[in-house]
Chain A
Amino acid sequence: MQALKQHQGLVAPLDRANVDTDLIIPKQFLKSIKRTGFGPNLFDELRYLDEGYPGQDASQRPLNPDFVLNQPRYRDASILLTRRNFGCGSSREHAPWALEDFGFRVIIAPSFADIFYNNAFKNGILLVPLDEGTVERLFQEVEASEGYRLAVDLEAQTVTTPSGEVLHFEIDEFRKHCLLNGLDDIGLTLEHEAAIRDFEMKHRSAHPWLFRDREVS
């Protein structure tokens, strides 16, 4: 996983609540057996005027000029500003893969769906929850000023606006630590291998019916 300590980038506003993972990456693109290459189909149904399918040349498709990421001023955005309950719906990790592949490293919203929250952090994307009022204000600032950038500091848990205002955000220690250091959490868990084996032995003796190999003859 890519580490993220600080990030400064252009902000794109996606003014919509309850953005679901079907909208982030439609199901026809989930047929890929790879982790990469989903960027051209991020927000496919909002971004293009035609129906997308796997293996298409995205550069030949008609763009929806009204969609925010198609507007030249937001084209190089790496911070997505959006509304409450972002990432609701399915558990598809293709959603953060697509966001990351497009170039987003930070997403700011009042709240995020639980499974998406986990999936994003495992792919080096920092999710920044800020209250509704602050998000509303950031929307107004982004729309009012072309080239609007934010600076995010994960260590300090802050977002700094162009005017110098510093906003604090919450993140749990474990995710912060992993993201700051780009850690592979399978490796971290395997450091507890002895504890897992010990647990497993006791668990098996208390609940033998949970282990199907009991009947191997």
Chain B
Amino acid sequence: MAGQTLYDKLWSQHLVKQREDGSALIYIDRQLLHEVTSPQAFEGLRLAGRKPWRLDANLATPDHNVPTTLKERAAGNAGILDPVSLIQVQTLDDNCEAFGIEEFRINDARQGIVHVVGPEQGATLPGMTVVCGDSHTATHGAFAALAHGIGTSEVEHVLATQCLVAQKMKNLRVRVEGRLGTGVTAKDIVLAVIGRIGTAGGTGYAIEFAGSAIRDLSMEGRMTICNMAIEAGARVGLVGVDDTTIDYLRERPYAPTGEQWDAAVAAWRELVSDEDAVFDKEVVFDAAEIAPQVSWGTSPEMVAPIEGEVPDPATIDDDTVKRGVTRALEYMGLSPRQKITDIRLDKVFIGSCTNSRIEDLREAAKVAKGKKVADSIALAMVVPGSGLVKRQAEAEGLDKIFLEAGFEWREPGCSMCLAMNADKLGAGEHCASTSNRNFEGRQGYGGRTHLVSPAMAAAAAIAGHFVDVRDTTLSPREA
């Protein structure tokens, strides 16, 4: 019998019941909650007279709506100027209080983007099933946790039953072998993967990221990659457990201790795909060939290497694709065959659940150190992923580097990744963004998003247009 993939193992360890109609009930170990996708779920529980199945499985924090300026944050919830946002954040507080769910409120140092907070607290552990009403829940798969983004009805379902109705996915392995070039990061790997397999390339699959280049990444880098599995259409991204995983988790507040830590580590070591496991599909990349990536269009698959150019729709055969590219160029205000380095920028955003962890900020700070943001940039902002990331960055002096270079240094939250708070692009503005989606209007009505790594975003802020971070004398990834 062939061996099991990591996904197969996680699935079978959580299978409560396989039903005859092909659906299954899987047990959920952790649910993360935020203010946007939970209010209707709590309301549903109330209307049906149900209670949460298991309180200690849940952890909540507001992130999407929270303001990121110190002035507004100083007043806590009362500082939220948008009355509709305020109601949503207040509703999360009220629901957590009423049902007895642990919450890191707006000015708790542990507050932040759910996908930064979970791992940082050790609330995400290998071998867990993790859900959240947010598609970027795939992030937690970096810890060999089976992590799904779910909708609000499913949030309610998990609250009420501790289970999710699911169907087994197929297995896709993305293997990245070899060494990344200097200045090339996890973000470039995942953008290159999406650029090749497309935004529906992973639909119906759980993607396991493997190969020596993945093993060489820190947990932060692995989270960046799993985070964007959904941008390749896969609800689940995974990386097997190794020493890097275990070292990251040691002494995290929610991680086990003492004898339980030892027992847990022994169990976690098994959370890798077997040597002889069979994948339904495999794609292989050579890390050395991956250049820093920049998205030019309105879908994350519309990416090019920094030395490349915007495509010419005239050279595309498939009609649907051609119309998509034409429309994207029109929306983005770009011309066919325009060089990526000729794209001028108005704003720069370093943050989001993809790239707001300490390592991301370090890489951006290395590029920004001693430099100045170009005069043509209206706003360059750095938004740490959590209060603890912010604290750590300040302890390392990164805030000073950013402030001296002309970046704004903000309070934690999702911020301009989706612009539900006041941080947004104006119509027609181009933004170098370390976030995950470049959809029309995503960062603000008429805004034009270019997805890049933190180092590339910082370099673009200084130059005022995209530049190859490898051409500078800096080496964000020192060997």
List 11 interface pairs A-B (beta carbons < 8 Å), by A numbering.
A18-B324, A20-B299, A23-B440, A31-B36, A33-B40, A91-B150, A113-B233, A119-B154, A122-B151, A200-B162, A207-B264
Knowing A18-B324, A28-B420, A114-B233, say if A211 contacts B25 (CB, 8 Å): no
Q: Which residues of B contact A58 (CB under 8 A)?
A: none
B residues 191-242 touching A (CB-CB < 8 Å): 199-200, 203-204, 230, 233-235
Q: 0/1 per residue, A157-187, Cβ < 8 Å to B?
A: 0000000000000001111010000000110
Binds A, one of B14-22, B282-290, B304-312: B14-22
CB of A202 to closest CB in B, whole Å:
10
Q: Contacts A93-B152, A185-B165, A196-B25 given; indicate if A34 touches B40 (C-beta within 8 A).
A: yes
The answer to whether residues A27 and B203 also contact, given A91-B149, A189-B165 and a CB cut-off of 8 A, is: no
Q: Using Cβ atoms and an 8 Å threshold, which residues of chain A touch B65?
A: 31
For the complex, what is the distance from the CA of A185 to the CA of B156, rounded to whole Å? 10
B440-A33 in contact (CB<8A): no
Q: Please list the residues of chain B having a beta carbon within 8 angstroms of any beta carbon in chain A.
A: 14, 16-17, 19-23, 25, 27, 29-30, 36-37, 39-40, 43, 48, 50, 53-54, 56, 64-65, 82, 84-85, 87-88, 91, 125, 127-128, 133-135, 137, 149-154, 156-157, 160-163, 165, 167, 199-200, 203-204, 230, 233-235, 254-256, 260-261, 263-264, 267, 299, 320-321, 323-324, 327, 418-420, 427, 437, 439-442, 445-446
Q: How far is A91 from B82 in the complex, measured between Cα atoms in Å?
A: 23
Q: Which residue of A lies closest to B23 (CB)?
A: A174
Inside 8 A of A45's CB, which chain B residues have their CB? Answer: 440-441, 445
Q: Assess A22 versus B441: contact at CB under 8 Å? Given A31-B84, A174-B165, A209-B260.
A: yes
Q: Which residues of B contact A28 (CB under 8 A)?
A: 420
Q: Are B157 and A173 in contact (CB under 8 A)?
A: no
B254 and A85: CB pair below 8 A? no
- Asked whether, in the complex, the Cβ of B161 is within 8 Å of the Cβ of A118, the reply is no
Instruction: Determine whether the beta carbon of B260 is less than 8 Å from that of A27.
Output: no
Selected from B87, B161, B167, B263, the residue in CB contact (under 8 A) with A190 is: B161
Residues of A in contact (CB 8 Å), total 61
Report yes or no: B157 in contact with A85, Cβ–Cβ below 8 A: no
Q: A73 at the A/B interface (Cβ < 8 Å)?
A: no
Chain B's closest residue to A208 (CB) is: B260
What residues on A are CB-neighbors of B437 within 8 Å?
20, 22, 89-90
Closest-CB distance, B411 to chain A (whole angstroms): 19
Determine the distance from Cα of A166 to Cα of B49 in the docked complex, in whole angstroms.
44
> Which of A18, A90, A123 is within 8 Å of B135, CB to CB?
A90
Partner among A54, A90, A111 whose Cβ is within 8 Å of the Cβ of B200: A111
Nearest chain A CB to B303's CB is how many angstroms away? 14
> Which residues of the other chain, B, contact A208 by a CB distance below 8 angstroms?
256, 260, 263
B154 and A118 form a contact (CB under 8 A)? yes
Is A40 positioned at the interface, with any CB of B under 8 Å from its CB? no
Interface contact A91-B135, CB-CB below 8 Å: yes
| Interface flag for A133 (CB, 8 Å) | no
Partner of B84 from the list A20, A51, A55, A174 (CB cut-off 8 Å) is A55
Q: Which residues of A contact B127 (CB under 8 A)?
A: 207, 210
The smallest C-beta distance from B415 to any residue of chain A, in angstroms, reads 12
Q: How far apart sit A16 and B440, CA to CA, in the bound complex (Å)?
A: 13
Q: A84-B200, A192-B163, A209-B256 are in contact. List 11 more A-B contacts (CB 8 A).
A: A16-B327, A20-B439, A54-B84, A89-B230, A92-B151, A93-B133, A93-B152, A111-B203, A122-B154, A172-B167, A190-B160
| The residue from A32, A83, A200 contacting B320, defined by CB atoms under 8 A apart | A83
The B-contacting residues of A in range 196-217, CB under 8 angstroms, are 196, 199-200, 203, 207-214
Residues of A within 8 A of B40 (CB): 33-35, 93
Any B CB within 8 A of the CB of A154 = no
CB-defined contacts of A122 to chain B, threshold 8 Å: 151, 153-154
Whether the Cβ atoms of B233 and A88 lie closer than 8 Å is: yes
Once the chains are docked, how many angstroms separate the CA of A32 from the CA of B84?
7
- Pairs A-B, 9 closest by C-beta atoms: A209-B256, A173-B21, A174-B23, A119-B151, A33-B39, A93-B151, A122-B153, A93-B152, A85-B200
B153 & A199 in contact (Cβ 8 Å cutoff): no
B203–A18 touching, CB < 8 Å: no
Instruction: Assess the A91–B16 pair: CB atoms within 8 A.
Output: no
Nearest CB in chain A: distance from B141 CB, A: 14
Partner of B17, one of A34, A115, A192, A212: A192
* Proximity bits, A15-52, B CB within 8 Å = 1, else 0: 11110101100111011111100000000010000010
Please name the residue on chain A nearest to B40 by beta carbon: A35
Asked whether, in the complex, the Cβ of B84 is within 8 Å of the Cβ of A186, the reply is: no
Instruction: Give the contacting residue for B441; candidates A16, A26, A84, A207; CB below 8 A.
Output: A26
Q: Which residues of B contact A186 (CB under 8 A)?
A: 48, 50, 156-157, 160-161
Q: Which residue of B lies closest to A31 (CB)?
A: B84
| CB-CB nearest in chain B for A33 | B39
CB-CB under 8 A from A93, the residues of chain B are: 37, 40, 133, 151-153
Q: How would residues 56 to 98 of chain A score, 1 for a CB under 8 Å from any chain B CB and 0 otherwise? A: 0000000000000000000000000001110011111100100
Q: Which chain B positions have C-beta within 8 A of A212? A: 56, 254
Instruction: List A contacts of B56 (CB < 8 A).
Output: 211-213
Task: Report the separation of the CA atoms of residues A85 and B198 in the bound assembly, to the nearest whole angstrom.
Answer: 10
Contacting residues, chain B, for A34 (C-beta < 8 A): 40
Asked if A118 contacts B151 (CB within 8 A), the reply is yes
Q: Are A51 and B445 in contact (CB under 8 A)?
A: yes
Q: When chains A and B are docked, how far (Å) is the Cα of A18 from the Cα of B139?
A: 22
**A195 CB contact (under 8 Å) in B17, B128, B233, B439:** B17
Nearest-Cβ distance from residue A21 to partner chain B, whole angstroms: 9
Name the distance in Å between B90's Cβ and chain A's nearest Cβ.
10
Kindly state the separation between the CA atoms of A209 and B22 in the bound complex, as whole angstroms.
31
A84-130 CB contacts (< 8 Å) to partner B: 84-85, 88-93, 96, 111, 113-115, 118-119, 122-123
Asked if B37 and A199 sit within 8 Å, CB to CB, the answer is no
